[in-house]
Amino acid sequence: MGGRVTLQDVASRAGVSIKTVSNVVNDFDRVAPETRLRVQAVIDELGYRPNLSARQLRSGRTGVIALAVPDLAARYFAELATAVIAQARRHAMTVLIEVTGGERSAELAMARGLGSTLIDGVILSPLALSQADLSGKPGRVPVVLLGERDYAHTFDHVLIDNVAAAREATAHLLATGRKRVAAIGAQRGPASATAHLRMRGYQEAVRSAGAPELPELMAPATQFSPTEGAEAMRQLLALPEPPDAVFCFSDMLALGALRAAHEAGVRVPEDLAIAGFDDTEEGRYGVPSLTSVSPDKPEIARQAVALLADRIDSEGRPGRKPVRTEVGYELMVRESSAPARTTKGSL
């Protein structure tokens, strides 16, 4: 089919009205499931894309939203961005990706809707913003927050229970028979809310099991990177009494820890069990495969985009209070945390 595909083209091919196609494109409920599937199949076949310029002229909106993340090179945020883009398409929206570097000025600009003539709303994963930064005058576009930091319900917010997830991962390592479980990822400062919560979960599990809660087993990492994970693992292995398990606050830290253990001749999981957080593709296909906390990234994306779309649609109609939505997670147990070996005593 030559030229730009139109709503009329889709409607004709699917045997429905233009209004029905519009309802499917905008993900409205008033379409029968079988009709929705037929229309969506034609949309995919013809490669139909909404005319953003025409939409903006009609509604004053662009159909473009921004996703602002600290670091797109981090696998977690890359996978999250993919999920957000997929969900945005269901709402006939395009996603503009902004990398903030975790810098307060960049995050504040996104929270206040900088460049709002180009975007209808923002999904923001902040590291450096404080409660005070988000307590003033609302920005020029709707904002949905991601991440663990508690902003006292000033914005719609989608998150997981990091304390519970870290506690479960640490308890799993202890349940395999390990006695000295270390943590890699301790941080200080206003941009370390994620690390604080995961450390809290780790400490709660250690206390509950009656295991030693020792400062030397809580290794710092200024960034959640393989380099920092490897360096922290080397320091832990150099202790007079090294750990027999490590909970890493991200998969990237865990991959670095795996490498350092390998270089030191420490076998995983025979001598050392390792668990991570984020359930990234690298961890799933590593050798050994990595036990990891798996946040429900597709659901995080679905909830965030749905909240933002609703906020955009209801703009100018006051009354809806900010929504705090907690999304689930699952501990994916893999090869890196097989149970510790036991030595049989003589009879």
* Last residue within a domain, chosen from 295, 319, 338: 295
List, in sequence order, every residue forming a beta bridge with 220; answer none if it has no partner. Answer: 186
190 neighbors 213 (Cβ within 8 angstroms):
no
**So what's the pLDDT on residue 315?**
61
Look at residue 347 and tell me if it is in a domain.
no
Q: What is the CATH number of the domain that holds 203?
A: 3.40.50.2300
Q: Are residues 287 and 213 in the same domain?
A: yes
Q: What is this structure's pTM?
A: 0.78
Separation CA 272–CA 267 (nearest Å):
6
Separation CA 224–CA 229 (nearest Å):
7
How does residue 220 score in pLDDT terms, banded at 50, 70 and 90?
very high
Q: Are residues 35 and 152 in the same domain?
A: no
Look at residue 323 and tell me if it is in a domain.
yes
**So what's the pLDDT on residue 212?**
82
Residue 32 has pLDDT above 50, yes or no: yes
Q: Are residues 95 and 207 in the same domain?
A: no
Residue pLDDT, tens place only, 152-182 = 667 899 999 999 999 999 999 999 999 999 9
Residue 54 has pLDDT above 90, yes or no: no
Q: Are residues 35 and 87 in the same domain?
A: no
Residue percentage of the chain with pLDDT more than 70: 86
Average pLDDT, the chain: 87
**Mean pLDDT over residues 181-207, rounded?**
90
Extract the tokens encoding 303.
Answer: 């909830």
54 contact partners, CB below 8 Å, separation of at least 6? none
234 contact partners, CB below 8 Å, separation of at least 6? 260, 264
Q: Angle at the Cα of 145 (from 139 to 149), degrees rounded to 5?
A: 120
Q: Are residues 87 and 139 in the same domain?
A: yes
Residue 343 has pLDDT above 60, yes or no: no
Tally the domains of the chain: 3
**Mean pLDDT over residues 72-96, rounded?**
91
- For residue 89, the enclosing domain spans 57-159+296-327
